[in-house]
Structure 1
Amino acid sequence: MQRAVFRWLSPLRRGKNGSPFSGLAAAQAEVETLSGKNNAGLPKLPPFDYSPPPYDGARTAEILLKRSEFLSPLSYIYTRILNVVDGKMQYLYDEDGKRYLDAFGGIATVCCGHCHPEVVEVIVNQIKRIQHSTVLYLNHAIADFAEALASKMPGDLKVVFFTNSGTEANELALMIARLYTGCHDIISIRNAYHGNAAGTMGATAQSIWKYNVIQSGVHHAVNPDQYRGAFGSEGEKYAKDVQEIIDFGTSGRIAAFISEAIQGVGGIMELAPGYLPAVYKTIKNAGGLCIADEVQSGFARTGSHFWGFEGHGVIPDIVTMAKGIGNGIPIGAVVTTPEIAEVLTRRNYFNTFGGNPVCTAAGHAVLRVIEKEKLQKNASVVGSYLMDKLKKLQEKHEIIGDVRGRGLMIGVELVSDRQEKTPAKAEILHILELMKEMGVLIGKGGYYGNVFRITPPLCFTKEDTDFLVDVMDVAMSKL
Structure 2
Amino acid sequence: MDNKINPSGMPNGFSLDRMGELDAGEQQLITRRMELLGPAYRLMYDHPLEFVRGDGMYLYDVKGTPYLDCYNNVVSVGHCNKRVAEAVARQVSLLNTHTRYLHPAILDYAERLLATFPDPLSRIMFACTGSEAVDLALRIAFSNTQAEGVIISEFAYHGTTMAVSSVSPSLGDAVPLGQHVCTVRAPIAYRSDSEDVGRRLAQDAEAAITDLERHGIRFAAFLADTIFSSDGLAADPVGLLQPVVDVVHRHGGLYIADEVQSGFCRTGDAFWGFLRHHIVPDIVVMGKPMGNGIPISACVTAPGLLDTFGTCRYFNTFGGNPVSIAAASAVLSELQECNLLENCRVTGNYLKQQLKKLQCKYACIGDVRGVGLYLSIEFVKSRKTKEPDSIKTLAVVNSLREAHVLVSTYGIFENCLKLRPLLIMKKEHVDYFIDQLDKILDKLNKS
Same fold (TM over 0.5): yes
**Structure 1 partner of 2:212:** 249
- Establish whether residue 83 from structure 1 lines up as the match of residue 50 from structure 2: yes
- Establish whether residue 164 from structure 1 lines up as the match of residue 131 from structure 2: no
- Establish whether residue 375 from structure 1 lines up as the match of residue 353 from structure 2: no
Q: Paired residue for 1:63, among 9, 29, 39?
A: 29
- Give 1:270-289 correspondences, 5 Å limit: 270=235, 273-289=238-254
Residue 138 of structure 1 deviates from its aligned partner by 0.9
User: Relative to structure 1, is the Cα distance of residues 243 and 337 closer, same or farther in structure 2, using a 3 angstrom cutoff?
Assistant: same
User: Relative to structure 1, is the Cα distance of residues 383 and 233 closer, same or farther in structure 2, using a 3 angstrom cutoff?
Assistant: farther
- Establish whether residue 105 from structure 1 lines up as the match of residue 72 from structure 2: yes
Cα separation, 1, equivalents of 2:222 and 2:153 = 9
**Structure 1 partner of 2:283:** 318
Q: Paired residue for 1:150, among 110, 114, 135?
A: 114
Moved more, 339-348 or 377-386: 339-348
**Do 2:134 and 2:159's aligned partners in 1 also have CA atoms closer than 8 Å?**
yes
- Give 1:290-329 correspondences, 5 Å limit: 290-329=255-294
**Do 1:59 and 1:83's aligned partners in 2 also have CA atoms closer than 8 Å?**
no
* Matched position secondary structure for 1:363: helix
User: Relative to structure 1, is the Cα distance of residues 211 and 228 closer, same or farther in structure 2, using a 3 angstrom cutoff?
Assistant: farther
Moved more, 195-204 or 320-329: 195-204
Cα separation, 2, equivalents of 1:461 and 1:185 = 44
User: What letter corresponds to residue 81 of structure 2 in structure 1?
Assistant: H
Residue 344 of structure 1 deviates from its aligned partner by 2.6
Cα separation, 2, equivalents of 1:75 and 1:10 = 7
User: What letter corresponds to residue 342 of structure 2 in structure 1?
Assistant: K
Moved more, 250-259 or 64-73: 250-259
Cα separation, 2, equivalents of 1:333 and 1:220 = 25
- Establish whether residue 217 from structure 1 lines up as the match of residue 217 from structure 2: no
Cα separation, 2, equivalents of 1:421 and 1:253 = 38
Q: Paired residue for 1:334, among 299, 309, 323?
A: 299
**Structure 1 partner of 2:7:** 7
Q: Paired residue for 1:236, among 199, 211, 230?
A: 199
Taking structure 1 as the reference length, the TM-score comes to 0.85
Moved more, 69-78 or 410-419: 69-78
User: Relative to structure 1, is the Cα distance of residues 452 and 209 closer, same or farther in structure 2, using a 3 angstrom cutoff?
Assistant: farther
Cα separation, 2, equivalents of 1:308 and 1:364 = 20
User: What letter corresponds to residue 426 of structure 1 in structure 2?
Assistant: I
**Do 2:390 and 2:415's aligned partners in 1 also have CA atoms closer than 8 Å?**
yes
Residue 252 of structure 1 deviates from its aligned partner by 9.2
User: What letter corresponds to residue 68 of structure 1 in structure 2?
Assistant: M
**Structure 1 partner of 2:355:** 390
Cα separation, 1, equivalents of 2:66 and 2:138 = 41
User: Relative to structure 1, is the Cα distance of residues 59 and 95 closer, same or farther in structure 2, using a 3 angstrom cutoff?
Assistant: farther
**Structure 1 partner of 2:423:** 458
Residue 232 of structure 1 deviates from its aligned partner by 4.3
**Structure 2 partner of 1:122:** 87
Cα RMSD of the aligned pairs, angstroms, is 2.5
Cα separation, 2, equivalents of 1:273 and 1:6 = 34
Cα separation, 1, equivalents of 2:379 and 2:177 = 31
**Do 2:362 and 2:441's aligned partners in 1 also have CA atoms closer than 8 Å?**
yes
User: What letter corresponds to residue 263 of structure 2 in structure 1?
Assistant: G
**Do 2:147 and 2:217's aligned partners in 1 also have CA atoms closer than 8 Å?**
no
After the TM superposition, list the runs of 4 or more consecutive aligned residues in structure 1 that deviate by more than 6 angstroms: 3-6, 9-12
- Establish whether residue 414 from structure 1 lines up as the match of residue 379 from structure 2: yes
Cα separation, 2, equivalents of 1:191 and 1:230 = 18
Residue 373 of structure 1 deviates from its aligned partner by 0.7
**Structure 1 partner of 2:392:** 427
User: What letter corresponds to residue 422 of structure 1 in structure 2?
Assistant: E
User: Relative to structure 1, is the Cα distance of residues 406 and 111 closer, same or farther in structure 2, using a 3 angstrom cutoff?
Assistant: same
Identity of aligned pairs, percent? 37
Taking structure 2 as the reference length, the TM-score comes to 0.91
**Do 1:304 and 1:311's aligned partners in 2 also have CA atoms closer than 8 Å?**
yes
* Matched position secondary structure for 2:224: strand
Residue 338 of structure 1 deviates from its aligned partner by 0.8
**Structure 1 partner of 2:311:** 346
User: Relative to structure 1, is the Cα distance of residues 247 and 338 closer, same or farther in structure 2, using a 3 angstrom cutoff?
Assistant: same
* Matched position secondary structure for 2:381: strand
Moved more, 411-420 or 293-302: 411-420
Cα separation, 2, equivalents of 1:318 and 1:126 = 30
**Structure 2 partner of 1:469:** 434
Residue 237 of structure 1 deviates from its aligned partner by 2.7
Cα separation, 1, equivalents of 2:174 and 2:267 = 29
The total of aligned residue pairs comes to: 433
**Do 1:408 and 1:456's aligned partners in 2 also have CA atoms closer than 8 Å?**
yes
Residue 456 of structure 1 deviates from its aligned partner by 0.9
**Do 2:180 and 2:217's aligned partners in 1 also have CA atoms closer than 8 Å?**
no
Cα separation, 1, equivalents of 2:46 and 2:312 = 49
User: Relative to structure 1, is the Cα distance of residues 445 and 11 closer, same or farther in structure 2, using a 3 angstrom cutoff?
Assistant: closer
Gaps of 5+ in 2: none
Residue 248 of structure 1 deviates from its aligned partner by 4.1
User: What letter corresponds to residue 200 of structure 2 in structure 1?
Assistant: K
**Structure 2 partner of 1:93:** 60
User: Relative to structure 1, is the Cα distance of residues 232 and 93 closer, same or farther in structure 2, using a 3 angstrom cutoff?
Assistant: farther
**Structure 2 partner of 1:187:** 151
Gaps of 5+ in 1: 13-20, 32-57
User: What letter corresponds to residue 284 of structure 2 in structure 1?
Assistant: V
